[in-house]
Structures are given as C-alpha cells and as structure tokens.
Amino acid sequence: MRLRPPARALLVATAVAILGVFPLIFSSPTSTSIAVFTLIFMVAACAWNMFAGSSGYIALGHAVYFGCGAYTLTLLANHLGFAAGWGVFALVPVAGIVAGLIAVPTGLIALRARRHTFVVITIAFMFIFQLAAFNLGFTGGSSGLQPPTPLWSVDTYNLNFYYVTAVVLLATFVLTWLVRRSRFGLQLLSIRDDEERARGLGVRVARVKLSAFVLSAIPVGMVGGIYAYFLGQIFPQFAFDPLFDLSIALMAFIGGLGTLVGPLLGALVLESLQQYFTVQYGSSQAYLIIYGALFLVVVLLLPRGVIPSLEELISRARAEPPEQGPEEPGRTADTIEAVR
Amino acid sequence: MSASSLAKAVVDGILTGGVYALMAAGLTLIFGVMDIINIAQGALIVLGAYMSYVLSVHLGIDLFVGLIITIPAFFVLGVAIEWAFMRRLREQDRTAMSILVTYAVAIIIEGLLSVIFGVDYLQLRASYVDSTFHILGFYLPYIYVFGFLLAIGLLGVLYWILYRTHFGRGVRGSLQNRTAAELIGVNVNRVRAVSVGIGVAVTAAGGMVFGATNAFNPSSGYDLISRLLSIVILAGLGSIAGALVAALFMVTLEDVVAVVWSPVWATLVYYASLIVVLSFRPGGLFGSAAVRAQ
C-alpha cells in the first residue's frame, strides 16, 4: 500500500508499540507462549519472503537453516559450558552465522537449477539434513538434544524469550525493508520478472541470487536457535520439518508473496491459530485439514494473497471518484523514489 | 555381507522398483501434460493403502480384487483435483502455485487420515503377504512378485493407452507442444483432466502394494514423495521411459547400499545422486530438450 510517509511512520510506530506491550496485557503463560512461537514464524516467513518473494525462486528447504540454527545453539551451549540464562542468547547470532555459512554451498548447488528442479533440490537438501541429524553421532540421533534450561519463573521465561525474538523480528524487518529499497532489491525483482533479460542488462544474476539466499537463511537460523532454547529440547523431525517449509511459504503466500508486510500478517494469523488449536483441542492433526483448506481457499479466491488483493480494492476505490486527481503526483513521486 | 544378502537386495530392489516405476510414471505423466509437480502423489499413495485396508479389513475384499473399486475411484478423484485446483492456476506463476496447492492437498489428506485412522502404523494383511517362497538362498513374500506383476501389467495398460489409442496421441501431442496440440484440434482440457485422472489412478495400485510391503501411517507420504520426486527429476521431468529406468535403478541401488554400507544411510543415495546428476545435467538424464530449455 502506498501510504504517505507520515501515515506509514504512524503505522510502523503503532505496530512496534503493540509488539512491545502485547505480553504485558495478555500476560497469561498460554498467550505469551503462543506469542513466542508466532514471532518465531513471523521472522522465518519474513526472511524467506525476502529471498523467495523477491526472486520468484520458491525454496522449500529453509528448514535446513532452522534446524542448523537449533543444533548450533544447543551443541555450543552444551559443549562450551554455557550456564542457563541470558548468556545463551549470545549464541543466537552465532546460530544465524552458521546457518548462513551452510546456505553458501547448498545455495550454490540449488541455484544452478530453476523452477521445479530448484524446488525439488531444496526439498532434497532438507531430507539430507534430517537424515544426517537422525544418524550422525554428535546430534544425539532420534533421542535429540537438550540445551540448558534457564531457571526463570514461568512468566519471566516467556517474557524474556518474547522480547529477544521481538528484537530479531525488528532487525529482520528492517533488513528486508533495506533490501527492498536498495539496488540489490531491484536486481532481485528483475530476476523474478525475467532472469535472462536481467542478465543481459548486466545484473550479476548468480551472485545476487546467492547473496539473497544466504541473507534469508541467517534470521531463520537465529530463530531456529531461539526455538531450541525455548522448547528446551530438539529432535531431528522437528528441527528439519517438511511442514516448516510449507508453513512459511503458505504464510507468505496468504499474506502476499513479495510484499513487505504480507508474510508478517500471514504468520501472525496462521501460527497463532495453529498454536491456539493445539492448546485448545490438544489436536496436532486436525489443524492440518484447516491449514490446507484455508490455503486452497486463499489461492482460489485471492490468488495474489491478502495484501495485494486489498491494495487492488483500495486503489480501485480511490480511482473511482474523479476528484482524487491530485493524489497522482504524490504517487508518481513515490514510485520514482522507489525505483531510484 | 554375503552373496545371498546381496542377491536378495538386487531381487528385492527390482521387484519394488517396478512398483515405484508405476507410481513415478503417474507423477511424470501429470507433470508432462500439466507442467505441474503433484506433491500430493505421496499422500495419495498412502490414501490408496488406507482404502485397500478398509476394503480388506472391514468388507473382507481381497487386496487385488479391491483394486477394481479403488482404481476407478482414484481416477475420479484425480479428475476432481484437476478440475477443482490445477485448472484454476494462472499460467504465469503456475510452477510455484502448483507445488503449494498440491502440497496443501497432501496435508489435507494427511490430516483426514490421521483424524480417521490415528497415527499408528498399519500394514495390509493377506495370505500371500505372510507366506514366502525360497529363491537364490533367501525367502521372499509372494506379494513382492504379485506386486511387480501388477505394476508391469498396469504399465502395459498405460503404454497401450498412450501409444495405441487416439486419446493417447492427444496426450503425447500435449506433452510435446500444448499450443500446437490445441491448434490441431486436441481438446487439451479434457486431455489434462484424464491424464491427471490416470496419474492418480495408478497410485491406488501403488498404494496397495506399498501398504502390503511396508508399515505405513498417515505421514508416510513424505518419504514416498521425496523418493518419487528424486526419481522423476533424475530421469528428466516428463520422460515416462526415463522414469521407469530411474525407478528400477534407484530402488535397487538403495537396497544394495543398505546391505553394503548401512540401512540408515540408504535413502541418502536418492538425494546425493539427484544433486550430483543435476549439477552436471540440469535437465536430468533423459529430459527432453523442451523441458531443459525451461
């Protein structure tokens, strides 16, 4: 939505304020725990969208980086003798960096292919890492690993995790916003629209794609680490979960692929719903049906996602009254600014 | 490692590979005609196994006789899926959307199966599943041979439909060039619907054999679809003959690796060979030029 800068600033300030006070208002452990999971998925969907939404390469293997982040934090905390508490959070950026490093070779291989083949290779990587986590010695196999558990009271436990994840979310959002405004972001969009032409126009296609891929893996690795620490245990099938890949893609799609806010909105709705269902009905399977059905409805009714479809509605409503003419110069200036 | 266990691995691999070839042929047929990867293929196979389970346990119908009911039912299901979801995708973002839509179909099937049947593992039972025969120094349940023969028979039917009927000519035309096929009067919409129907119908048979040779639960589909995807991508999408060769080769290789190295690492051969082959030949081993150009 092309809001004017003051309106946009106001919107962002409100969102940040809500993010800040939410756990103070809804302070029951159930709702703060749901909020932590929701924030984790908001980060993942936002970061995934920075690569997949902008470049049009639908990666379905970001669970690799989520799981690597989770195992990195757990292994480092255990082997370096970190005491349970705030100190372990210092490993969250490390988890992100390790995930980014792993994204370099995997991205190099996967990005040689396009379209279906790319998607399938990313899925293949996911299964290779899951297999490795099950069978390598240092991962603890199917019995998983336990990071140290902090001895905070239930309320502070959730609050601490909430605010750490909220900081990661803000950083990720700022990162995607900066990418979107930059030359680099435009190069990514040009790859989505026509990769051959972008190459012809001098975009270093391979380098741009790989950088975006690695950049999007880092926040996913960070929340992977937070996830492991928050749960207090990590198993291969949850660290490298095919449903994770699908979930973040659905979140981005439902909100609006390639938009800044869409994935956040999608994750906010889907993850909190899913957690609510799990808590309320104790059913881990019934939500699969709702999840899939919801997605099919969105694809069939709002094929471009909620945010772009809303935008279309609003701009159509705006375009109707003729006295809206003076709006146009402002919008053009905005567009020029965006292109620049 | 003895010669006998190696021989068992090879025989087992070829017999199971035949069934995978049938399932992979369905997947690659759907891709060739629709330009869609049907992620739901794995979940549909599991659904097929559950249907056979219901028919044999609750109605006492033999597994192979039950296929007379499940194969047509799955054909209708395939046509319905094509009509309801695949047809409605727009051309420009079809690749991405189709994967997500069929993935959504897969998790709905998984969710329904878990709600109805629970997540415990089941296996199909019949006299020929439990009894074995002696060959080359090891014992093998009859179902492996029956399943292989069934797969060969159905692949023969598929071959006959594709290469000996008027409809099959339309399918092959649509595989090669959709626009040209439409121009010379092929009803592409009908061809697409029926092709997806056929591609889904074979999963009923594949699911029955899979369910009789493996324990399964609602989430077994992930394992299946990742193998089948590896097979069809390795072969080159849209190449049916390639899928048959790749299925036999990969499943046999997996079984041999399980004996020679370790069973837990055996599935790695799928993903590893996929990545190695695609690093050198992005179109797969038998990919058509048209697919490679995309």
Q: Per residue in B96-129, pLDDT tens?
A: 778 878 888 888 898 888 888 888 888 887 777 7
Distance from CA of A334 to the nearest CA of B (A): 27
Could you count the other beta carbons within 10 Å of the beta carbon of residue B291?
22
B284: left (phi over 0), alpha (psi -120 to 50) or beta: left
From chain B, the residues in CB contact with A124 under 8 A are: 226, 229-230, 270-271, 274-275
* pLDDT at res. A127: 84
> Residue A164: CB partners within 8 Å, gap ≥ 6?
A89, A92, A226
Distance from CA of B136 to the nearest CA of A (A): 32
Q: What confidence category does residue A330 fall into, taking pLDDT thresholds of 50, 70 and 90?
A: very low
Q: Mean pLDDT over all residues of chain B?
A: 82
Checking if the pLDDT of B47 tops 90, the result is: yes
Question: Number of C-alpha atoms within 13 angstroms, CB side, residue B6?
Answer: 5
Checking if the pLDDT of B288 tops 70, the result is: no
- In the numeric block, the tokens 């988890």 are attached to A95
**Cα A316 versus chain centre, distance:** 30
The region of weakest confidence among A65-69, A80-84, A270-274 is: A80-84
Distance from CA of A263 to the nearest CA of B (A): 15
Residue of B231 and B89 predicted with greater confidence: B231
Domain boundaries, chain A: 17-241
CA–CA distance, B140 with B102 (Å, rounded to integer) = 36
Under an 8 A CB cutoff, do A119 and B218 touch?
A: no
> Residue A47: CB partners within 8 Å, gap ≥ 6?
A62, A172, A175, A176, A215, A216, A217, A218, A219, A220
Checking if the pLDDT of B276 tops 70, the result is: yes
User: Kindly report the CA angle at B71 between B52 and A116, in degrees rounded to 5?
Assistant: 100
Locate A202 and state its tokens: 């001098």
* pLDDT at res. A70: 92
- Asked if A254 contacts A270 with a C-beta cutoff of 8 angstroms, the reply is yes
Residue B232: give its domain's CATH number: 1.10.3470
* pLDDT at res. A65: 94
> Residue A317: CB partners within 8 Å, gap ≥ 6?
none
Best of B108, B116, B261, B264 to mutate (most A CBs within 10 Å, chain A): B108
- In the numeric block, the tokens 């056929």 are attached to B198
> Residue A69: CB partners within 8 Å, gap ≥ 6?
A95, A96, A98, A99, A220, A221, A222, A223, A224, A225, A227, A228
The segment with the largest mean pLDDT, out of A29-38, B197-206, B221-230, B233-242, is: B197-206
CA–CA distance, A289 with B216 (Å, rounded to integer) = 20
Checking if the pLDDT of A332 tops 50, the result is: no
Checking if the pLDDT of B198 tops 50, the result is: yes
The region of weakest confidence among A170-174, A209-213, B118-122, B233-237 is: B233-237
* pLDDT at res. A299: 74
* pLDDT at res. A13: 86
DSSP A169: H
Checking if the pLDDT of A216 tops 90, the result is: yes
* pLDDT at res. A261: 85
Checking if the pLDDT of A218 tops 90, the result is: yes
Q: Mean pLDDT over all residues of chain A?
A: 82
3-class DSSP state for residue A145?
strand
pLDDT cut 70: percent of chain A above it: 91
* pLDDT at res. B46: 93
Under an 8 A CB cutoff, do B37 and A121 touch?
A: no
Write the pLDDT tens digit of every residue in A122-176. Answer: 888 888 888 888 887 777 777 778 888 887 877 788 888 888 899 999 999 999 9
* pLDDT at res. A214: 94
The DSSP H or E segment spanning A58 is none
* Total domains present in chain B: 1
Provide φ and ψ at B26, rounded to 5°.
-65, -40
CA–CA distance, B251 with A238 (Å, rounded to integer) = 27
Write the pLDDT tens digit of every residue in A37-69. Answer: 899 999 999 999 999 888 888 888 899 999 999
Checking if the pLDDT of B17 tops 80, the result is: yes
3-class DSSP state for residue A234?
strand
B55-to-B67, B113, B118 alpha-carbon distances in Å: 9, 15, 17
Which of A113, A257, A288 lies closest to B108 in CB terms?
A: A288
Query: What range defines the domain where residue B104 resides?
Result: 3-293
DSSP A240: S
* pLDDT at res. B161: 85
Query: CB under 8 Å, gap of 24 or more: what pairs does A25-29 form?
Result: A27/A155, A29/A154, A29/A155, A29/A158
Q: What is the 3-state secondary structure (H, E, C) of chain B?
A: CCHHHHHHHHHHHHHHHHHHHHHHHHHHHHHHHHCCCCCCHHHHHHHHHHHHHHHHHHCCCCHHHHHHHHHHHHHHHHHHHHHHHHCCCCCCCHHHHHHHHHHHHHHHHHHHHHHHHCCCCECCCCHHHHCEEEECCEEEEHHHHHHHHHHHHHHHHHHHHHHHCHHHHHHHHHHHCHHHHHHCCCCHHHHHHHHHHHHHHHHHHHHHHHHHHCCECHHHHHHHHHHHHHHHHHHCCCCHHHHHHHHHHHHHHHHHHHHHCCHHHCCHHHHHHHHHHHHHCCCCCCCCHHHHHC
Taking each helix axis from N to C end, the angle separating A154-181 and A183-193, rounded to the nearest 10 degrees, works out to 80
Q: What confidence category does residue A188 fall into, taking pLDDT thresholds of 50, 70 and 90?
A: confident
CA–CA distance, A139 with A136 (Å, rounded to integer) = 6
The segment with the largest mean pLDDT, out of A315-319, A328-332, B243-247, is: B243-247
Under an 8 A CB cutoff, do B278 and A286 touch?
A: no
- Closest alpha carbon within chain A to B268: A128
Residue of A7 and B207 predicted with greater confidence: B207
Mean pLDDT value across residues A217-227: 93
Checking if the pLDDT of A337 tops 70, the result is: no
Residue of B94 and B144 predicted with greater confidence: B144
Q: What confidence category does residue A212 fall into, taking pLDDT thresholds of 50, 70 and 90?
A: very high
> Residue B260: CB partners within 8 Å, gap ≥ 6?
B1, B6
Residues of B at the A interface, defined by Cβ within 8 angstroms: 31, 37, 85, 88-90, 95-97, 99-101, 103-108, 110-112, 114-115, 119, 218, 222, 226, 229-230, 233, 237, 264-265, 267-268, 270-272, 274-275, 278-279, 282, 284, 294
3-class DSSP state for residue A132?
helix
3-class DSSP state for residue A153?
coil
- Asked if B197 contacts B191 with a C-beta cutoff of 8 angstroms, the reply is no
Under an 8 A CB cutoff, do B226 and A127 touch?
A: yes
What residue type is assigned to position B288 of the chain? S
